[in-house]
Amino acid sequence: MARNLYYYAPINTIVTLVIFFLFRMYNSLWRYASIDEVVNILYACTLAEAIQFFGIKMANLTMSTTYFGIDFMLMITLVTASRFCYRFLRLYSSKAHAENKRKIMIIGAGEAANAIIKEITISSYLDGVVVCAIDDNKDKINSYIQGVKIVGDRSSIVHCVREYQVTDIIIAMPSVGRRDIKEILDICKDTGCQMKILPGMYQLINEEVSVSRLRRVEIEDLLGREPIQLNVGNIMTYISDKVVLVTGGGGSIGSELCRQIVKYAPKQLVIFDIYENNAYDIQQELKHDYPNVDVRVIIGSVRNTERVNKLFETYRPDIVYHAAAHKHVPLMEDSPNEAIKNNVFGTYKTAIAASKYGAKRFVLISTDKAVNPTNVMGASKRMCEMIIQAFNRNSDTEFVAVRFGNVLGSNGSVIPLFRKQIEAGGPVTVTHPDIIRYFMTIPEAVSLVLEAGALARGGEIFILDMGEPVKILDLAKNLIRLSGYTIGRDIQIQFTGLRPGEKLFEEMLMDEEGLKETNNKMIHIGKPIEFNEELFFEKLDDLYKSVYSECDNVRELIKEMVPTYQYNTGKSELKETNKLKQIEDVDIEDHVSHLPIKDEIK
């Protein structure tokens, strides 16, 4: 009998090895072993033991019943231990050398945190060890996730950073709202730790939670704004199968308008911009991402009457988004004539063409600086609003304006400037400790511009809800802290004084305008202020002659047209050394045919 068992033993071994092979137990990467591998081991060992039991019975061999139970338990124990010992050794080694690694705190103790901790623990490429976790669920405190203790809620963050000597904080809470994230970041930013965040809920849905998906905490996270809800149906009906023109389509706002417009299946998107590099970049991006959308890029200036007319004659746009403008306040203070030529008369010429060639809707991108302006750029935008208000009364085209504040990350905005200054080691320059601004991300602003365009009926000035105003000093401090530096020790903050034309605060609404609600709580309508159109266009004629003569009295003329405009009379634009041309020497016919407006749009 014993001899027969010896004969059967090799057969049993071979059968067991085949079963293990079929269950891919020799193909698994055991450094990443998890509960799935344990289940696989259980199935393989059970099947191997069952075949051994029936094999012995069929061979008429005698074996004690207890043998099968002991053999089964030993097989599972030894196979599991041999597979997982590598992970145990790595875990022990990781903890033994934790002093030399970056110490990480995980905020959140859910599925996302579990995946992040697991990857950090098993990876040989990540120079860090998770030392503690934070979660607001009281039932989880003092329990463990992947061997890491959950030490407290958000109120314990600062204390635990000191106790565990934390150098890095990872926020792994993709399902939590932005306001909660902001509150947590407000606590974390004073710890001096490097911070990263898992972007959003879709990573959990798509099972894409990993360290590679982490991004650094951006200043936008500190705004705490919830995602904007759009009426996609309204926008789709409004844009779908239409020819859409975006002037200034290569700029910050213009390019984002193009990115969002193509999602709503326009018949054709026409991008008009004077800067070929910007226009080329957005053209290539859209060709790659939306190869089936007809995108045309035309180079030209809104100041060129013939070029603008040819553009409208050729493409006959149904919808016009007019984003082309000079927007830098200090530069326009030094070159006010250029601001008027581009912003005011660029808008005027584009509006004439839109009306003449039958555009259904014209949307002007305006700014909060148009309200009680103290600089030429803001005053020029207020005149643009007045122009489209007058056009709307005298044209079949629906003319509207959308007014909003600063956008984060746009060309020339304060955030890129601060980042460059921080990378250079400082100082970070702030004009005034009390200066405040309204902020919105570019995608947020453009989304609301699109919906406002869909809501338009003509003549409205749409005002976007920009949320709470933000102190620029706080913005600078937060950005320094988020970059892992200490204010005053690593990076200095320097106050430079208000620039010409700059206000301590911006306003979204003039007193006379009032507010009317729309179906979207983020979009309001200001009541247009009445003005003498005939007198306005007479003054516009004088202004045109003045700026093309390069005269230095442009601010006085602007004040006559925009009574709310306030300026420093001691500041004048850059003067030419040569004698200025006289107003009567300018041939207006070389630039625009006929003012006022009513002759143009009949």
Set out the domains of the chain in order of their start, with CATH numbers. Answer: 2-95 (no CATH), 97-217 (3.40.50.720), 232-526 (3.40.50.720)
Query: Which of the following is catalytic: 118, 189, 327, 369?
Result: 369
Task: List 561's β-bridge partners, or say none.
Answer: none
Joined tokens for residue 106:
């995980």
DSSP assignment of 487-525: BTTTB-EEE--PPTT--SS--S--TTT-EEE-SSTTEEE
pLDDT tens for each residue of 333-354: 999 999 999 999 999 999 999 9
Q: CB–CB of 554/340 below 8 Å?
A: yes
pLDDT tens for each residue of 396-440: 999 999 988 777 766 667 878 888 898 888 899 999 998 888 777
pLDDT tens for each residue of 122-176: 665 567 888 999 999 999 999 988 888 999 999 999 999 999 999 889 998 887 8
Q: CB–CB of 207/234 below 8 Å?
A: no
Residue 315: pLDDT band by 50, 70, 90 thresholds? very high
Lowest mean pLDDT among 26-30, 256-260, 391-395, 537-541: 26-30
pLDDT tens for each residue of 353-393: 999 999 999 999 999 889 889 999 999 999 999 999 999 99
Query: One-letter amino acid identity for 553?
Result: N
pLDDT tens for each residue of 441-460: 888 889 888 988 888 888 88
Query: One-letter amino acid identity for 460?
Result: E
For the residues 24-35, what does the mean pLDDT come to? 62
Q: What is the pLDDT of residue 448?
A: 85
Query: What SS3 class is residue 144?
Result: strand
Q: What is the pLDDT of residue 585?
A: 41
> Which value, in Å, is the radius of gyration of the alpha carbons in the chain?
34
Closest residue by Cα to residue 592 from 531, 554, 540: 540
192-226 burial, b for 16+ CB within 10 Å, e for fewer?
ebbbbbbeeeebbeeeebebebbeebebbbbbbbe
Lowest mean pLDDT among 188-192, 431-435, 489-493: 188-192
Q: Which residues have C-beta within 8 Å of that of residue 519, sequence separation ≥ 6?
A: 231, 455
pLDDT at 570 over 80: no
Q: What is the pLDDT of residue 586?
A: 41
Q: What is the pLDDT of residue 598?
A: 46
Q: CB–CB of 129/104 below 8 Å?
A: yes
Q: Which residues have C-beta within 8 Å of that of residue 419, sequence separation ≥ 6?
A: 479
Task: List 524's β-bridge partners, or say none.
Answer: 463, 517
Q: CB–CB of 565/382 below 8 Å?
A: yes
Query: One-letter amino acid identity for 241?
Result: D
Q: CB–CB of 111/173 below 8 Å?
A: no
Look-up: residue for tokens 């957005």? 282
Strands 194-197 and 361-367: unpaired
Closest residue by Cα to residue 37 from 26, 51, 48: 26
* Average pLDDT value for the chain: 81
**Rounded CA separation 237/51 (Å):** 66
Residue ranges of E strands in 175-292 = 194-197, 215-216, 243-247, 268-273
Q: Is 57 a catalytic residue?
A: no
pLDDT at 49 over 90: no
**Rounded CA separation 157/128 (Å):** 19
Burial of residue 518 (number of CB atoms within 10 Å: 0-12, 13-18, 19+): middle
pLDDT at 468 over 50: yes
Closest residue by Cα to residue 368 from 527, 256, 558, 509: 509
Q: What is the pLDDT of residue 500?
A: 78
Q: What is the dihedral of CA 284, 285, 289, 291, to 10 degrees?
A: -20
pLDDT tens for each residue of 71-81: 888 888 888 87
pLDDT at 574 over 50: no
Residue 227: pLDDT band by 50, 70, 90 thresholds? low
pLDDT at 308 over 50: yes
